[in-house]
Chains A and B, each alone.
Chain A
Amino acid sequence: MASYIVRRILYAIPLLFLITIISFGMMKMAPGDPTALMMDPMIKKENLVAYQEAYGLNDNVLVQYVRWLGNMVQGNFGESLIRQGVPISDLITARLPNTLLLMLVSSFIAFLISIPLGVISATKRNSLTDYSITFVSFLGIATPNFWIGLVLIMVFSVNLGWFPTGGVSTLGEPFSIWDRIHHLILPALVLATADMAGLTRYSRSSMLDVLRQDYIRTAKANGFKNSTVIFKHGFRNGLIPIITILGLMLPSFIGGSVIIESIFAWPGIGLLFVEAAFQRDYPVIMAVVVIAATLVVVGNLLADILYAVFDPRIEY
């Protein structure tokens, strides 16, 4: 097991390396640079060129990449090109916890709601309940996230006034857990809906698969109660494939957080990424890419390890 983990981590290094090359290349292929934003008659051409020189924007792309990589490997993300003098690590440490919190809570919500729904759906296959759950799931898959977000804000924040319209906490109020949770509920719920639908479908089919197994029939034949059969014999085995989904869900959570953070004015790294992308703030873009890629790689690794923990048949 330990050697497997070490091996996986070693595999991850070239992968991350490749991701940075591709992202850096794509980013540089996008037209313009940070000075494109400064399109303003007050700028002297010489000053603009001096700026580009000072930040090495005129160097060969390879030179720029190697310079960036050199700093990154030493744990130095560099400074923002737009917000001059601000270390990117400051921006990340201020924002990453917000994104992690949102992702954690919403994946928790997604699992909490969709797995029971999937199980119910599977056990009552082809019933009205099953059809209703299936219908709602597909509706969830088909509805864009940002739209659900805006509708929830209109209904629950503006019309009913039950929830705040955005942000992580009430301005100028002392810290309170309840206030934090209050601000977290809507964005977490919306982010969760993106994956809830898929997750419900996965757990349904996974459960269906398990319930068709011989040992379930045997258990039933032995006269065990139906609920015991489903939960003790079926559920635990049906859960195993879901763990894989956990790993696969991470990228969609990161992608989704970009939109959700924007709608709920949630100061996370998704929002930072959007700002940086429009401003062509190259080192900030790369910092977020590296962090997101690392999260995904680590998430997948965790999922694989958990897989082994839950399924004794698997050995690495």
Chain B
Amino acid sequence: MKKRFLLAVVLIMTLIIAACSDGTANEVEKNQGDKKEEAKSGGRLLLGTTAAPTLFNPYYSTDTSSSTIEGFIFSGLVTVDTDFNPEGDLAESWEFSDDGLTWTFKLRENVKWHDGEDFTADDVVFSYNIPLHEDYIGPRGLPFEIIEEVNKVDDYTVEIILSEPYAPFITITAQFEILPEHILGDVPIADLGKQAFNTKEPIGTGPFKFTEWKEGEYIQLDAFEDYFKGKPKLESIIYKIVPDTNTLMAQLQVGDINLAGISPQYIETAKKLEEQGKVEVSTGDSNAFEYIGYNLRNDLFKDKEVRQALTHAIDKDAIVQAILDGAGTVAHGPGSPANWAFNPDMPEFEYNPELAKKKLEEAGWTPGADGVLEKDGKKFEFVLKTTSANEIRQQIAEVVQQQWSEIGVKVSIELLEWSAYVEQTSPPLWNFDAIVAGWSIGSDPDPTWFWHTSEIENGLNYNGFSNARVDELLSKNTQISDLEERKRIIAEADAIVAEEQPNTFLYYVQGSLAKSPTLHGPEFNAANTYYKIHEWYFD
């Protein structure tokens, strides 16, 4: 009887193993020699990510993994090069009228969808009308809000009329990928987010076509022979889901992954692997900044001098060196050096605890019996919130807590799980004194989101920052299509923000990319990691 039991167990195990198979057993077996040869020259790019994608439709997805894969499958009218300059993709060329309201795109001819159909102006008209539709339930309404109408002039010319001049139109809106009208044209817009197209059979015009989504494991994309910029050299892309970063690093090390972004905590490991010749690491400024944000609704932070004093008390350089291993650039104001609109001459409040104490004393804060600053019987103490989802921010909170205690400011740290953190810090609660946080800027440098008074109520201006001159400049910035003039305006606004210090700007984030030494093409840049991916290849 015992034997039979054992047999049953083995049988069940075998059955389950067989049930897990994906039916590839029927494929012709290749001999071992072939396989080795293929691995060397075959050009299968293994990408690694810790977060699984959600769906492949740019008008409905919001996560990075999905948008990366969308970039392989679909194409937009324009894309950006490695310096955020717009570059024609499906559009061959474009021009705008003198009032900045009418944009005319000349489309490429002979572009094929993955199912062999021709790409035409109808597809553009269809796609851009999705977020404009009254039944649209999706996260991408805002970039299309300024569009008045989208007109087909002929099969390969599209005219887009805006309700007001809007500079980011070309770098944000025109980058949205185009969907096939011949497949989705008849779907009611309200149901578009739930189509099987988005998860099982997306059809695009991009360099790689969707082949398979193996639940929880990987997404496979194969080269599209008729890609309009030429057949990609890589045969396929496997987008692997590896939830644990330590495992991801191990996979990178043994070549189970060829390319992965490296988060700051793992730079040291990546550098070690580079010394051993197992990977190559490229780094650069990414388009983001980290900061300590003050809630200006709180009386403690109403005085500009006090905010500047708090900044004087923080040794940003030590934070960058000790917590980031030097993988960051000390910041004094908003923006990012990776961005063309960056202002390198903003007011600076250098590390100087003595000056911090002096400024606070001038503002009426004097040390109490326990060393904590007091003013009118009120102690200078508050809660610094950040998310447990980000180890670096936790460490920053600890260092800052220590450094502030040295000038008599008492801070307690509260760590919140990501969703809880977002809910507490964002509108309409703004339930925080100060936060350790960061912003990523996006492909257009428009700072309106962070500092304009109109963004307080519902937007990203969590601080509640309001400055008349900044409002004026920011309202102007998106109306100007001339880059140099726009740059001057953004620079002036950023300098005022830096002077006002609604945030202590800590550092500009550095990004890193690790790749297999045999892979040619990828190079770290903040704008477009997969720029010209159809030209990448393996030795």
**Measuring CB to CB, which residues of chain A are less than 8 angstroms from any residue of chain B?**
30-33, 36-48, 50-51, 54, 79, 82-86, 90-91, 94-95, 97-98, 100-101, 104-105, 108, 150, 153-154, 157-158, 161, 164-169, 171-177, 180-181, 184, 261-265, 267-268, 271-272, 274-275, 278, 280
Is the CB of B472 closer than 8 A to any CB of chain A?
no
Partner among A31, A105, A108, A174 whose Cβ is within 8 Å of the Cβ of B29: A174
Residues of chain A with a CB closer than 8 A to B218's CB: 171
Residues of chain B with a CB closer than 8 A to A174's CB: 24-27, 29
User: In the complex, are the beta carbons of A42 and B143 less than 8 A apart?
Assistant: yes
User: In the complex, are the beta carbons of A84 and B198 less than 8 A apart?
Assistant: yes
User: In the complex, are the beta carbons of A101 and B20 less than 8 A apart?
Assistant: yes
Residues of chain A with a CB closer than 8 A to B420's CB: 30-32
User: In the complex, are the beta carbons of A172 and B216 less than 8 A apart?
Assistant: no
Given contacts A31-B420, A46-B141, contact A94 B216 (CB under 8 A): yes
User: In the complex, are the beta carbons of B62 and A84 less than 8 A apart?
Assistant: no
Is the CB of B13 closer than 8 A to any CB of chain A?
yes
Given contacts A94-B215, A165-B247, A265-B247, contact A47 B254 (CB under 8 A): no
Is the CB of B332 closer than 8 A to any CB of chain A?
no
Is the CB of B217 closer than 8 A to any CB of chain A?
yes
User: In the complex, are the beta carbons of B418 and A50 less than 8 A apart?
Assistant: no
Show 15 residue pairs from A and B whose CB-CB distance is below 8 angstroms, ordered by the A residue: A37-B62, A37-B419, A38-B139, A47-B138, A83-B54, A83-B199, A100-B16, A104-B12, A104-B13, A158-B253, A171-B218, A171-B238, A172-B238, A174-B25, A175-B25
Residues of chain A with a CB closer than 8 A to B199's CB: 83, 85-86
User: In the complex, are the beta carbons of B139 and A165 less than 8 A apart?
Assistant: no
- A311, chain B: closest CB distance, angstroms: 16
With A41-B142, A83-B199 given, can you name 10 additional A-B contacts, CB distance below 8 Å? A40-B139, A54-B137, A86-B55, A104-B9, A108-B9, A150-B246, A157-B250, A165-B247, A169-B22, A268-B216
- A237, chain B: closest CB distance, angstroms: 16
Query: Which residue from chain B places its CB closest to the CB of A37 in the assembled complex?
Result: B62
Given contacts A42-B140, A47-B136, A171-B218, contact A158 B254 (CB under 8 A): yes
Is the CB of B458 closer than 8 A to any CB of chain A?
yes
Q: Interface 1/0s, chain B 191-219, versus A by CB < 8 A?
A: 00111101100000000000000111110
Given contacts A32-B420, A38-B62, contact A85 B217 (CB under 8 A): no
User: In the complex, are the beta carbons of B215 and A165 less than 8 A apart?
Assistant: no
User: In the complex, are the beta carbons of B216 and A180 less than 8 A apart?
Assistant: no
User: In the complex, are the beta carbons of A153 and B19 less than 8 A apart?
Assistant: no
Given contacts A97-B20, A167-B217, A262-B244, contact A41 B194 (CB under 8 A): no
User: In the complex, are the beta carbons of A79 and B254 less than 8 A apart?
Assistant: no
Residues of chain B with a CB closer than 8 A to A98's CB: 20, 216
Given contacts A101-B16, A265-B243, contact A153 B250 (CB under 8 A): yes
Residues of chain A with a CB closer than 8 A to B214's CB: 267
**Measuring CB to CB, which residues of chain B are less than 8 angstroms from any residue of chain A?**
9, 12-14, 16-27, 29, 44, 46, 52, 54-55, 60, 62-63, 136-143, 145, 172, 193-196, 198-199, 214-218, 238, 240-244, 246-247, 250-251, 253-254, 256, 417-420, 422-424, 426, 442, 449, 458-460
- B238, chain A: closest CB distance, angstroms: 6
State A37–B22 Cα separation when bound (angstroms): 32
User: In the complex, are the beta carbons of B246 and A166 less than 8 A apart?
Assistant: no
Partner among A50, A153, A274 whose Cβ is within 8 Å of the Cβ of B243: A274
Residues of chain B with a CB closer than 8 A to A38's CB: 62, 139
State A104–B139 Cα separation when bound (angstroms): 42
Residues of chain A with a CB closer than 8 A to B60's CB: 84
Which of B12, B13, B52, B419 neighbours the largest number of chain A CB atoms within 10 Å of its CB?
Answer: B419
User: In the complex, are the beta carbons of B242 and A265 less than 8 A apart?
Assistant: yes
User: In the complex, are the beta carbons of B139 and A43 less than 8 A apart?
Assistant: yes
User: In the complex, are the beta carbons of A32 and B256 less than 8 A apart?
Assistant: no
State A50–B136 Cα separation when bound (angstroms): 9
User: In the complex, are the beta carbons of B139 and A267 less than 8 A apart?
Assistant: no
Query: Which residue from chain A places its CB closest to the CB of B191 in the assembled complex?
Result: A85
- A107, chain B: closest CB distance, angstroms: 10
User: In the complex, are the beta carbons of B419 and A272 less than 8 A apart?
Assistant: no
Residues of chain A with a CB closer than 8 A to B459's CB: 41
State A180–B20 Cα separation when bound (angstroms): 9
Partner among B17, B139, B423 whose Cβ is within 8 Å of the Cβ of A177: B17
Which of A37, A46, A108, A167 neighbours the largest number of chain B CB atoms within 10 Å of its CB?
Answer: A167
User: In the complex, are the beta carbons of B13 and A164 less than 8 A apart?
Assistant: no
User: In the complex, are the beta carbons of A157 and B423 less than 8 A apart?
Assistant: no
Partner among A43, A101, A175, A262 whose Cβ is within 8 Å of the Cβ of B142: A43
User: In the complex, are the beta carbons of B16 and A104 less than 8 A apart?
Assistant: yes
State A12–B138 Cα separation when bound (angstroms): 41
